[in-house]
Amino acid sequence: MDRFRVTGRVRLAGSIPISGAKNAALPSLCACLLTGEKLQIENVPPVRDVRTTLRLLQYIGVDVEETAEGSVLLKAAGLEKPEAPYDLVKTMRASVLVLGPLLARTGRARVSLPGGCTIGARPIDFHIEALRRMGARIEVEHGYVTAKSSRLRGVEYHFPGRSVTGTENLLMAATLAAGTTVLHNCATEPEVADLARLLRAMGAKIEGAGTTTIHVEGVDALHSAAHRIIPDRIEAGTFLVAAALTGGDVTLRECAPEHLGTVLDLLERCGQGIEKNDGEIRIIGKVPPAPVDMATGPYPEFPTDLQAQFMVLMTQATGTSVIRETIFENRFQHAAELRRMGASISLSGRNATVKGASRLSGACLMATDLRASACLVLAGLVAEGETIIDRVYHVDRGYVRIEEKLRKLGARLERIQGS
């Protein structure tokens, strides 16, 4: 298994491009299952979760051709095995995104239950309940969701809670259903709106994506389309925190400042200088940052996927910050590793109280999930001495060559290849 070695306390400076959004790419790739015609998807980030999704689609029977880096041509003419097996789903929960499109197009799907993961239980009851209302017969047994239906029918469904992949799954299923589907209390994340943009290009009739109520008028078939994935707001947020931590001066290119409103506001409240241009963000870091209280929430609130990274920043603030995690019940695992580096963090239920400023010192650390491992890399950037981060395959699930991008900004960070 690969590890990272980070030598801290280097000020970051320079400019780097932001890659396509992993969490927009995954549903867009799965959307190919809705048509037998070709889909061309651009700006697909070459991360491990994308590789896993492409492997899953090939297993199902999709022709996958990578025409250039970031360009994928997909054709789902015959779907021999409408199934997502456990071995693929266990490494990536987003595999559940094949359920809606497979059922809508072929009338059957068998998808391994994703199960819990380190950040929380993460059930898929909303997906199942909504598809049942659309007429699917769904059984959950032997660790699999087995679904069958004749043509799905449009319904009115109110999500009991906001779910990103739940909204995406239902949106895809509804495009081919008979009649109109109205989805209430939908996730409003930019990744949902991006998927809807692709589906509309394929001939779907969708209104309201990006708001909490989405109307879909089902059509008989969808067709070929080309689509470019939006920039990754979480990757951008991670680099912004890296720059803030080191008092750096960093410009992010090819990003979408409009998707980072709350994050940029919070950075400004911490004293960081932010300049926005079309597709660019420049951050002029200020050390030490000011402490802030913050809570994660559904978009446009602060993203849970940046909570761990912000916790590192708050360890450097002069004063006390309270971070409240409202989306996942177990997303503070990084706190224990940060404490081992010298941070003062106490946990109480969904609140983390961070007392700064702490002098972090390099240590050997273990990555536990994707965003927690990014947070450990950031902690290594401000720590004294050397930090070794084990199990960086977690980082590779969602970041495109993070070590190369950080090195370009001056960081001393290397990958140690595992056996």
Please answer whether residues 177 and 104 qualify as being in contact, where contact means their C-beta atoms are separated by less than 8 angstroms: yes
- Rounded to whole angstroms, the Cα distance separating 406 from 377 reads 10
- Rounded to whole angstroms, the Cα distance separating 272 from 292 reads 12
Please state the closest distance from residue 191 (CB atom) to ligand EPU, in A: 6
The smaller minimum CB distance to ligand EPU, of residues 21 and 382, is found at 21
Q: Which stretch binds ligand EPU (CB under 6 A): 120-128, 196-204, 270-278, 354-362?
A: 120-128
- Residue 36 sits at φ, ψ, to 5 deg, of -85, -5
Chosen residue from 134, 214, 341, 370 binding ligand EPU by CB under 6 A: 370
Please state the closest distance from residue 127 (CB atom) to ligand EPU, in A: 5
Asked if 328 is part of the footprint of ligand EPU (rule: CB under 6 A), the reply reads yes
Chosen residue from 116, 161, 273, 385 binding ligand EPU by CB under 6 A: 161
Please answer whether residues 142 and 169 qualify as being in contact, where contact means their C-beta atoms are separated by less than 8 angstroms: no
> What single-letter amino acid sits at 281?
I
Find the distance separating the first CA and the last CA of the chain, reported in whole Å. Answer: 6
- Element spanning 387, H or E: strand 386-390
- Using only the alpha carbons of the chain, give its radius of gyration: 21
Asked if 399 is part of the footprint of ligand EPU (rule: CB under 6 A), the reply reads no
Report which of 308, 336, 301 is spatially closest to residue 323, judged by C-alpha positions. 308
Please state the closest distance from residue 331 (CB atom) to ligand EPU, in A: 8
Please state the closest distance from residue 366 (CB atom) to ligand EPU, in A: 17
List binders of ligand EPU among 175-234 (CB under 6 A).
187
Strand pairing report for 386-390 and 3-7: antiparallel
Stretch 71-100: interaction string toward ligand EPU, x if CB under 6 A? ----------------------xx------
Please answer whether residues 321 and 291 qualify as being in contact, where contact means their C-beta atoms are separated by less than 8 angstroms: yes
Chosen residue from 101, 166, 247, 285 binding ligand EPU by CB under 6 A: 166
The smaller minimum CB distance to ligand EPU, of residues 305 and 403, is found at 305
Please answer whether residues 147 and 131 qualify as being in contact, where contact means their C-beta atoms are separated by less than 8 angstroms: yes
Q: Which stretch binds ligand EPU (CB under 6 A): 57-65, 124-132, 248-256, 348-356?
A: 124-132
Please state the closest distance from residue 419 (CB atom) to ligand EPU, in A: 27
Compute the half-sphere exposure of residue 48: CA atoms within 13 Å on the CB side of its CA: 15
- Rounded to whole angstroms, the Cα distance separating 94 from 48 reads 12
- Rounded to whole angstroms, the Cα distance separating 214 from 417 reads 46
List binders of ligand EPU among 341-360 (CB under 6 A).
none
- Rounded to whole angstroms, the Cα distance separating 195 from 169 reads 10
- Strand segments, DSSP code E, in 224-266 are 225-228, 249-253
Asked if 165 is part of the footprint of ligand EPU (rule: CB under 6 A), the reply reads yes
The smaller minimum CB distance to ligand EPU, of residues 328 and 363, is found at 328
List binders of ligand EPU among 24-43 (CB under 6 A).
26
Asked if 123 is part of the footprint of ligand EPU (rule: CB under 6 A), the reply reads yes
- Rounded to whole angstroms, the Cα distance separating 250 from 12 reads 7
**Is 30 noted as a catalytic residue in this protein?**
no
Please state the closest distance from residue 394 (CB atom) to ligand EPU, in A: 9
Distance set, CA 179 to CA 185, 195, 408 (Å): 20, 20, 52
Q: Which stretch binds ligand EPU (CB under 6 A): 61-69, 115-123, 138-146, 399-407?
A: 115-123
Please state the closest distance from residue 160 (CB atom) to ligand EPU, in A: 7
Asked if 127 is part of the footprint of ligand EPU (rule: CB under 6 A), the reply reads yes
Asked if 373 is part of the footprint of ligand EPU (rule: CB under 6 A), the reply reads no
Catalytic residue among 32, 117, 186, 375: 117
Compute the half-sphere exposure of residue 413: CA atoms within 13 Å on the CB side of its CA: 31
* Dihedral sign from CA coordinates of 65, 67, 69, 71: negative
Q: How many residues bind ligand EPU (CB under 6 A)?
A: 25
The smaller minimum CB distance to ligand EPU, of residues 48 and 405, is found at 48
Please report, as ranges, the residues that interact with ligand EPU according to CB under 6 A.
23, 26, 93-94, 120-127, 161, 163-166, 187, 304-305, 327-328, 370-371, 398
For the annotated catalytic residues, the residue numbers are 117
